[in-house]
Structure 1
Amino acid sequence: MNHLLASVITGMVTDENEKNYFVQKDGITFALDKSEGLHHIGDMVSGFAYTDTLQKARLTTKEIATTRTTYGWGVVTEVRRDLGIFLDIGLEDKQFVVSLDVLPELKELWPKKGDKLYVRLEVDKKDRIWALPADQEVFQKMAGPAYNNMQNQTWPAIVYRLKLSGTFVYLPENNMLGFIHPSERFAEPRLGEVVKARVIGFREVDRTLNLSLKPRSFEMLENDAQMILTYLEANGGFMTLNDKSSPEDIKETFGISKGQFKKALGGLMKAKKIKQDELGTELID
């Protein structure tokens, strides 16, 4: 049966009962749910061959993109730290596992429920079907060229490769590839995560995009200013920090640089939201 699993096969309907037709191929009988269509004894039927959760041989005529030789997207439904992750590829009675052996060493970078992986299937000697994530070469063959007119556009991107040099992503709405340098993210995205990435550059050599997960400078200023306002409101409208405070004290309180802090204070003072003196900074009613 091994050579038939995780593939599209054609077999003959040899029997039936109330619920299933029984399709034979190379001496192996696969159950086909009658809800998928009307057939008769002697008909030839094509479908995807697999084993269900009870390891029973089954056939489905539904279109399944992921096989031994073709890649398709799967959605993560469960994470098992001792085994790997479970993927839904469109079968009601079966999910396939991506083994922990092919996942990142750091479990914090494993996909989470709802994340997406582009995979093909593989069958081991015990007739178990596993999902294998696509490598860089597969994505390069699949993706089209990016264009040099996308600056500052923001697009969803799926993380498909993690390297020390940065994060490699696929833009599904554009069928393009992109790269996120470590300096353009606050934290490393996990494999399979769908992120919103902003275009900051174009690589002529391979027609891919340089991307950022950080907001633009004026957006960061707005975020920093809002953070300071929220802090003041939560602390009675006053704080002992001002633009003369030490970088260490500012970093400890807000997690930003003194330069960012001063810019945010300047914006808030221009907007007449705050005032400051040698004692600190105060909200203006």
Structure 2
Amino acid sequence: MRELGKVSSLLINRFSPHGAYLALQDGGEVLLPKSYLSGEEKVGEELEVFVYTDSEDRPVAVTNRPKMLLDEFEVLEVKEVTKFGAFLDWGLPKDLFVPKAEMGKSMEVGEKYLVMLCRDNKTERLIGVSKYEDFLLRDTQGFETGQEVNILIFEETDLGYKALIDGDFEGLIYKNEVFEEVQIGDRKKAFVKKRREDGKIDLQLLPIGRAKYEEGAEKILETLKVRKFLPLHDKSSPESIKELLGMSKKHFKQSIGQLYKAQRINILDNGIEIIE
């Protein structure tokens, strides 16, 4: 079935007491349960649906969209663990099953893991696979320092946060370079810090070089427009600066230096204030 795991526009073939039967490309039909119908649909009308398998492994269509489609990655939370595998919340009535053989590591209820939605060739069911390394691309030669990328943060380690880059590559953000709140499952913009000799990618959340401080200066200025005064100065602790602005002390000092030279702020003994 070509539509399995995808969002498709399908025509209504007929109605039954259970719902509407939609025409598939291979000539078959799939049921859209009555609970997804408004009652105003007509035969021949086109509906946009997602096709997967229900609790009895029968193909079924739904009008709500899951958190990911076939061959896509997403970070999902575990709802139940059994001796056969784990069930994860992917936004549909039937939870996504990750077989034990397809787990990269043991899963725990309440924890979140990076999973790809795959088709099981033996059973023709949709399953989750958390052995993400099998699907990543290895050739990172196209990445350059300073390049902006889209990332999905999927795991915290002792060093920092693992991130999926543009859906195909793995990167790492070092924990001591993170100055904002980060959660597993966050999607963010990031910047390539370095492509290492082994081909792996180091990332950072702030732009590289001078642009980093320009962005920091803008953040301080926007905060001052609301608060007018910040009790921060060059002798403030790194912890208090991070708490109020989410940046390092070095970043803060560089940024207020730019604002001072541009005559946007006054630097006082007990803090900084905006020049109206």
Residue 151 (structure 1) aligns with: 145
Instruction: Tell me: CA distance 1:118–1:264, structure 2 relative to 1, closer, same or farther (3 Å).
Output: same
The separation in 2 between residues aligned to 1:18 and 1:148, in whole angstroms, is 51
The separation in 1 between residues aligned to 2:52 and 2:275, in whole angstroms, is 68
Residue 112 (structure 2) aligns with: 110
Residue 181 (structure 1) aligns with: 174
Match of 2:256 among 265, 268, 271: 265
Quick one: which amino acid aligns to residue 247 of structure 1?
A: S
The separation in 2 between residues aligned to 1:224 and 1:134, in whole angstroms, is 37
Residue 8 (structure 2) aligns with: none
Deviation of the 1:272 alpha carbon: 0.8
Deviation of the 1:284 alpha carbon: 2.4
Deviation of the 1:138 alpha carbon: 0.7
The separation in 1 between residues aligned to 2:172 and 2:88, in whole angstroms, is 25
Residue 218 (structure 2) aligns with: 226
Summarize the alignment of residues 8-23 of structure 1 with structure 2, pairs less than 5 Å apart. Answer: none
Deviation of the 1:203 alpha carbon: 2.6
Quick one: which amino acid aligns to residue 151 of structure 1?
A: T
Q: Given the alignment of the two structures, is residue 247 of structure 1 paired with residue 237 of structure 2, yes or no?
A: yes
Instruction: Tell me: CA distance 1:228–1:80, structure 2 relative to 1, closer, same or farther (3 Å).
Output: same
The separation in 2 between residues aligned to 1:246 and 1:58, in whole angstroms, is 61
Instruction: Tell me: CA distance 1:189–1:146, structure 2 relative to 1, closer, same or farther (3 Å).
Output: farther
Deviation of the 1:98 alpha carbon: 4.7
Instruction: Tell me: CA distance 1:264–1:136, structure 2 relative to 1, closer, same or farther (3 Å).
Output: same
Secondary structure class of the residue paired with 1:85: strand
Secondary structure class of the residue paired with 2:257: helix
Secondary structure class of the residue paired with 1:72: coil
Secondary structure class of the residue paired with 2:255: helix
Q: Given the alignment of the two structures, is residue 96 of structure 1 paired with residue 92 of structure 2, yes or no?
A: no
The separation in 2 between residues aligned to 1:275 and 1:190, in whole angstroms, is 38
Summarize the alignment of residues 1-285 of structure 1 with structure 2, pairs less than 5 Å apart. Answer: 35-37=23-25, 51-53=53-55, 55=56, 57-58=58-59, 72-73=71-72, 81=79, 84-87=87-90, 96-98=96-98, 105=108, 107=110, 110=112, 117-120=115-118, 131-140=127-136, 143-147=137-141, 150-159=144-153, 162-172=156-166, 175-186=168-179, 187-191=181-185, 193-205=186-198, 207-235=199-227, 237-238=228-229, 241-243=232-234, 245-247=235-237, 250-251=240-241, 253-254=244-245, 256-278=247-269, 280-285=271-276
The separation in 1 between residues aligned to 2:156 and 2:99, in whole angstroms, is 17
Residue 11 (structure 1) aligns with: none
Secondary structure class of the residue paired with 2:149: strand
The separation in 2 between residues aligned to 1:248 and 1:185, in whole angstroms, is 13
The aligned length equals 220
Asked if 2 retains the 8 angstrom alpha-carbon contact of 1:157 and 1:194, the reply is: yes
Residue 7 (structure 2) aligns with: none
Instruction: Tell me: CA distance 1:19–1:35, structure 2 relative to 1, closer, same or farther (3 Å).
Output: farther
The separation in 2 between residues aligned to 1:74 and 1:149, in whole angstroms, is 21
**Structure 1, gaps ≥5 residues long:** 1-6, 8-16, 21-32, 41-48, 61-70
The separation in 2 between residues aligned to 1:238 and 1:82, in whole angstroms, is 49
Asked if 1 retains the 8 angstrom alpha-carbon contact of 2:162 and 2:173, the reply is: yes
Q: Percent identity?
A: 21
Q: Which structure has the greater CA radius of gyration? A: 1
The separation in 2 between residues aligned to 1:260 and 1:146, in whole angstroms, is 29
The separation in 1 between residues aligned to 2:107 and 2:128, in whole angstroms, is 13
